[in-house]
């Protein structure tokens, strides 16, 4: 089982339709047994992909070629004993959410993740708050 975690930036000017991305992801990922988490705030994305090696690779290759984002940096790419994010889930900040409600939701989703993955997400949240 492989876990890949990357960060990227939304392409400026391109209206990012998170619902469309999530719809595509759920449909495709389910078919190949890829699960994980996609976080987006309109400017940045952070995604965890978990599944069999080849399925994660094929999915990531497709995502990496997507013109809706750029500056993709892989933060972790490692072998795991079992899925840390049980099923596909998705957290995004809606226009009515306060930053605190959003952060709380992130933490709840991350409760099952390894300390390394959790730390990466929490660092991102802290950086966003400081910006
Ligand atoms: C930030 C981001 C995350 C994405 N995550 C996934 C994903 O997990 N799975 C997936 O199939 N497509 C994902 N996509 C979409 C793919 O890049 C691609 O558009 C899509 O897989 C094409 O699927 P389709 O041929 O079924 O329309 C993502 C796109 C972006 C910008």
With a cut of 80, say whether residue 4 has pLDDT above it.
yes
Each residue's pLDDT tens digit, 60-119: 999 999 999 999 999 999 999 999 887 766 666 666 677 777 777 777 778 878 888 888
Q: Give the model's pLDDT for residue 9.
A: 94
Domain spans, the chain = 2-130
Q: Give the model's pLDDT for residue 53.
A: 98
Each residue's pLDDT tens digit, 22-57: 888 989 999 999 998 888 878 889 999 999 999 999
The reported pTM is 0.87
Nearest CA to ligand 1 atom 9: 25
Fold for the domain defined by 2-130: Alpha-Beta Plaits (3.30.70)
Alpha carbons 31 and 62: distance in angstroms, whole number: 15
With a cut of 70, say whether residue 14 has pLDDT above it.
no
Please report the DSSP string for the chain in residue order.
-EEEEEEEEEPTTSPP-HHHHHHHHHHHHHHHT-EEEEEE-SSEEEEEEEE-HHHHHHHHHHHHT-TTEEEEEEEEEEE-SS-SS-S-EEEE--TT--HHHHHHHHHHHHTTS-HHHHHHHHHHHHHHHH-
**Probe target for ligand 1 pocket from 66, 85, 87, with the most ligand atoms within 8 Å of CB:** 66
């Amino acid at each position: 089982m492989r876990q890949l975690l990357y960060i990227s930036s939304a392409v400026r000017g391109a209206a990012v339709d998170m619902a469309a991305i999530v719809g595509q992801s759920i449909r495709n990922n389910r078919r190949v047994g890829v699960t994980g988490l996609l976080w987006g705030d309109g400017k940045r994305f952070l995604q965890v992909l978990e599944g069999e090696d080849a399925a994660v690779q094929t999915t990531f290759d497709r995502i990496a070629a997507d013109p809706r984002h750029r500056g993709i940096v892989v933060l972790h790419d490692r072998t795991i004993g079992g899925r840390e994010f049980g099923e596909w889930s998705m957290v995004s900040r809606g226009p009515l959410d306060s930053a605190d409600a959003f952060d709380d939701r992130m933490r709840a989703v991350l409760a099952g993740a390894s300390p390394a993955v959790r730390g990466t997400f929490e660092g991102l949240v802290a950086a966003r708050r400081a910006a």
